[in-house]
Amino acid sequence: MKLQQFKKELDRDPAFTGKMALDFAMLISRQAETVYEDRGIEFPVIVSSTLLCLAEVGSASLVEIARTLDHPHQLVAQRVKTMAKLDLITSAPDPDDRRRTIFRLTPKGWQQANLLKDYRRDAALVFSALSEEVSADLLALLHQAVTALKDKPLADRFADLAQTEDK
């Protein structure tokens, strides 16, 4: 089998729905990079939700950001590190708990957050138009799929499949 044929088969295989979802997210991220550059947004697309979280709440610890975004702690730590290198955030020990570090946006971070908010407004329109183009409310569909998997995890679904196969 040739690699291109394998890719086509994999892209149509329901067992690899997660891969297709990741491919979709990566495609959006790659295409958004150009839009970010055109709009003067100087940080990687991947840190957007972390930066926006701090812009909305003012300050937060790594654990708080990770919980809010429902992302792994280690992933948020990498994003915070990137943001610090770009002078978008500052960090300081929590005066109430010296083990915790509190992150806040710098003036540059606030300036970039404002550009991100403008992008966010326009991106909502772009993705709504994309939903119309493909005749599916992509956001609603993703929310439904996430909710369904949280309500009934894959392991339970596989167990149900095994029970029906045993009958």
At 64, is the pLDDT very low, low, confident or very high (cuts 50, 70, 90)? very high
At 167, is the pLDDT very low, low, confident or very high (cuts 50, 70, 90)? low
Mean pLDDT, the chain, as a whole number? 95
Residue 81: which CATH number? 1.10.10.10
Q: Is residue 56 part of a domain?
A: yes
C-alpha distances (whole Å) from 117 to each of 16, 42, 57, 129 are 33, 14, 14, 19
Q: Model-level pTM?
A: 0.86
Higher pLDDT, 36 or 98: 36
Residue 111, pLDDT above cutoff 80:
yes
Q: Is residue 90 part of a domain?
A: yes
Identify the CA nearest to 21 among candidates 104, 106, 134, 142: 142
Q: Is residue 119 part of a domain?
A: yes
Higher pLDDT, 124 or 163: 124
Q: Residue count of the chain, please give it.
A: 167
Residue 118: domain span: 32-124
Instruction: Give the chain's domain count.
Output: 1
Q: Is residue 142 part of a domain?
A: no
Q: Is residue 139 part of a domain?
A: no
Mean pLDDT of 70-99: 94
pLDDT digits (tens, 9 = 90+) for 119-134: 999 999 999 999 999 9
First to last CA, the chain: 36
For residue 58, what is the DSSP state? S
Residue 151, pLDDT above cutoff 80:
yes
Q: Is residue 37 part of a domain?
A: yes
